[in-house]
Structure 1
Amino acid sequence: MKAIRCRYCPQLLLTPESRARGYGPVCARKNGLPLTPTSWRTRQARPATSTTAIPVHPDQTTIPIQPTLPKEN
C-alpha cells in the first residue's frame, strides 16, 4: 500500500476511497467537496441551453446582448 497524502493537508490517506478521491472526509467537509469520487467520464453531459431567448415582460424594454458602439464621423 503506497502512502498518499491529502491534496489539502499533510494527512496520510488510509482508506481506498480517500486515496481514489485524493482527500479525506475531514477536508471534504471543510472545503465543501463531494465525498464520492467523480471523474469526467462518469459525469452526465447536459444539453446546451440557449441564453438569447429570455422572456421579457411586455412593459420592459430589452437590452441588446452585444452593445452597439456609436459611429465615428
Structure 2
Amino acid sequence: MASVPNGVRASSLDARWITTRRGSAEGDCVEVAPLTDGGIAVRNSRDPDGPALVYTRSEVRAFLAGAKDGEFDHLL
C-alpha cells in the first residue's frame, strides 16, 4: 500500500481523528489519526482542512518516549 505524503490535506484522509482530553476550550489541540498504511497523521485542530504531517510508528514512539522523559520541557 502506498504511503500518505506529508502535507496532504488532513480532511482528505479517511481517518478517525483523536483529540486529547487535555486540550483547551479554545481548541488548542493537536489531533492524531492512525492510517491504513500503518502511519500516524497529525493535524492542528483549529485547521482541520490544513496539512497533515505523517509519521511512522517508530518516529511517534521515539517522540513520545522523549516527551515522557522530559526532553521537550524547556519548550514550555
Richer in strand (by share): 2
When the two structures are superposed, what TM-score results if normalisation uses the length of structure 1? 0.21
When the two structures are superposed, what TM-score results if normalisation uses the length of structure 2? 0.21
Task: Identify which of structures 1 and 2 has the higher relative contact order when contacts are C-alpha pairs closer than 8 Å and 6+ apart.
Answer: 2
Higher CA-based Rg: 1
